[in-house]
Amino acid sequence: MIPFHAFHLPMPQYQPPVEPSIWTVNPSSLDIDEKILGVLKILRGLRMTVMDLMLHSISHKASMLPWREAFFRSRALIQFLNVLDADEQASEQLHVILRPIAIKIATDEVDAEMEAAKDIFGMSSKDITPELLLSFDLDALLTARLRETTPWLRRILFSAMQTV
């Protein structure tokens, strides 16, 4: 008969996980590509993507606020979008995604401008006097005031006129 303890395997001792972000070499001896590849390997080991890291680091989680604030304080977003726009494949996707957003922004701006310009266009027949007609100056009455009040609308209309 075989004793019971022969079948009983000892429980392995708990080993804390190795910190994946500890460099095993002096980082100053690595060039930027080696550093980036090292970070990408760490991410792959953690089963994360670069986008997972980016989206999490700019989230509203309290632990991420310093990273989020630093990201939006810097020119990182502009640089990221410029890189995407310069890439043919990414540029197509970027334009598809941003087009409806840009249209909404432009229409919201023009709506606000037109609301602000109502008093410029608001004229009744009582306002048309012989004096007004004799001294009528289109530039002073409308153009200069609209130039200040409706910059978005002006650019859109000028652009439309140049394509005709």
Cα distances (angstroms) measured from residue 157 to each of 109, 122, 154, 162: 14, 21, 5, 9
| 1 occurs within a structural domain | no
From CA 149, how far away is CA 77, in angstroms rounded? 30
- Model pLDDT, residue 70: 94
| 12 occurs within a structural domain | no
- Regarding whether 151 and 113 lie in a shared domain, the answer is yes
> In the chain, which stretches have pLDDT less than 70?
1-25, 137-142, 164
pLDDT tens digits, residue range 72-97?
999 999 999 999 999 999 999 999 99
Among candidate residues 157, 57, 51, 160, the one with its CA nearest the CA of residue 113: 157
- Regarding whether 139 and 102 lie in a shared domain, the answer is yes
- Model pLDDT, residue 63: 95
- Regarding whether 100 and 44 lie in a shared domain, the answer is no
- Give the number of other Cβ atoms within 10 Å of residue 59's Cβ: 13
From CA 97, how far away is CA 108, in angstroms rounded? 18
Q: How many domains does the chain have?
A: 2
Domain with 46, as residue range(s), is 29-74
- Regarding whether 117 and 152 lie in a shared domain, the answer is yes
- Model pLDDT, residue 118: 83
Domain final residue, candidates 74, 101, 134? 74
Q: Are 137 and 91 in contact (CB under 8 A)?
A: no
- Model pLDDT, residue 60: 94
- Model pLDDT, residue 73: 94
| 4 occurs within a structural domain | no
